[in-house]
Structure 1
Amino acid sequence: MNMWLKFAIQNTLRNRRRSLVTVSIAALGTAAILLAGGFALYTYEGLAQAAARSTGHLVLGKPDQFVRDEDTPLQHGLDDVATLRTALLADPAVRHVLPKVEFSGLISNGEKSTVMLATGVEPDSEFAVKGPFLTLTDGQVLASGSTDAEIMLGAGLAKSLKATPGTSLTLLASTTEGAMNALDVRVKGIFTTGVPDMDKRLVYTDIATAQQLLVSQRVSSLGVFLDRMESTDEVRQRLTAQHPQLAVKTWLDQAFFYQSVRDLYNRIFGALGLIIGLIVVFVVTNAMAMAVIERTREIGTLRALGTRPAQLLHSLALEGMVLGGVGALLGGAVSLGLSLLLYVVPIQMPPPPGRSVGYPLNIAIDLPLYATTLVAMVLLTVLASGWVARRTVHLPVVEALAHT
Structure 2
Amino acid sequence: MRWVRLAWRNVWRNAGRTAIVLLIVGVGAMSAMLSLGFMLATFYGLQESTILGGVGHIQVSKDEDFLSPREIGALEDWAAADDRVRFGMSRLSFGGLISTGAQTRTLQVMGIEPERERRMSIGFAPVTEGEHLPLDHDPVAPDAVLGKELAQDIGVAPGTLLTLLGTTHDGVLNAVDVSLRGSYTTGVPELDMRQGLTHLETARFLLNTDVTETKVIVLHDTADVESVAAALAQRFPELTVATWSELSPFYGGVVSLYRSVFFVLGAVLSTVIAFSVINVVVLAINERRKEMGTMIALGISRAKIRATFALEGALMGSCGALAGVVLGGLVAFGVTMMGIDMPPPPGRTLQYPLIVDVDLLGGALIVAFFTALTTLVAWAPTYQLERREVVEFLSER
Spell out the pairing of 1:9-158 with structure 2 (5 A cutoff). 9-53=8-52, 54-62=54-62, 64-65=63-64, 75-80=65-70, 81-143=72-134, 144-146=136-138, 147-158=140-151
CA distance in 2, matches of 1:382, 1:79: 66
CA distance in 2, matches of 1:272, 1:373: 13
Check whether the contact 1:107–1:113 (CA below 8 A) recurs between aligned residues.
yes
Name which of structure 1's ranges 381-390 and 123-132 shifts more when overlaid on structure 2: 123-132
CA distance in 2, matches of 1:242, 1:175: 31
List per-residue Cα deviations over 1:63-121 (Å, max 9, x = no partner).
Answer: x15xxxxxxxxx43443334532332222221110101122222222233333122110
CA distance in 2, matches of 1:170, 1:401: 99
Question: How high is the TM-score relative to the length of structure 1?
Answer: 0.92
Structure 2 residue 244 is the aligned partner of structure 1 residue 251: yes
In structure 1, the residue matched to 2:157 is: 164
CA distance in 2, matches of 1:394, 1:305: 18
Check whether the contact 1:309–1:394 (CA below 8 A) recurs between aligned residues.
no
Deviation at 1:123, TM superposition (A): 0.9
Check whether the contact 1:30–1:328 (CA below 8 A) recurs between aligned residues.
yes
CA distance in 1, matches of 2:313, 2:74: 67
Selected match of 2:281 from 274, 282, 288? 288
CA distance in 2, matches of 1:299, 1:327: 26
User: Cα gap change, 1:390/1:78 in structure 2, threshold over 3 Å: closer, same or farther?
Assistant: farther
CA distance in 1, matches of 2:329, 2:354: 14
Taking every aligned residue pair, what percent have the same amino acid on both sides?
32
The alignment partner of 1:173 has SS state of strand
Name which of structure 1's ranges 245-254 and 103-112 shifts more when overlaid on structure 2: 103-112
The alignment partner of 2:69 has SS state of coil
Name which of structure 1's ranges 84-93 and 184-193 shifts more when overlaid on structure 2: 84-93
Q: Which runs of 5+ in 1 are unaligned?
A: 66-74
Question: How high is the TM-score relative to the length of structure 2?
Answer: 0.94
CA distance in 1, matches of 2:99, 2:25: 63
Spell out the pairing of 1:198-213 with structure 2 (5 A cutoff). 198-213=191-206
Deviation at 1:27, TM superposition (A): 0.9
CA distance in 2, matches of 1:312, 1:260: 49
Equivalent residue pairs, number: 393
In structure 2, the residue matched to 1:71 is: none
The alignment partner of 1:137 has SS state of strand
Check whether the contact 2:117–2:124 (CA below 8 A) recurs between aligned residues.
no
List per-residue Cα deviations over 1:296-354 (Å, max 9, x = no partner).
Answer: 22222222222211011010000000000001100110111112213332211111111
Deviation at 1:7, TM superposition (A): 0.6
CA distance in 2, matches of 1:128, 1:332: 39
Check whether the contact 1:313–1:393 (CA below 8 A) recurs between aligned residues.
no
Q: Which runs of 5+ in 2 are unaligned?
A: none
Check whether the contact 1:61–1:78 (CA below 8 A) recurs between aligned residues.
no
CA distance in 2, matches of 1:371, 1:40: 17
CA distance in 1, matches of 2:26, 2:106: 55
State the AA in 2 paired with 1:89.
A
Check whether the contact 2:340–2:354 (CA below 8 A) recurs between aligned residues.
yes
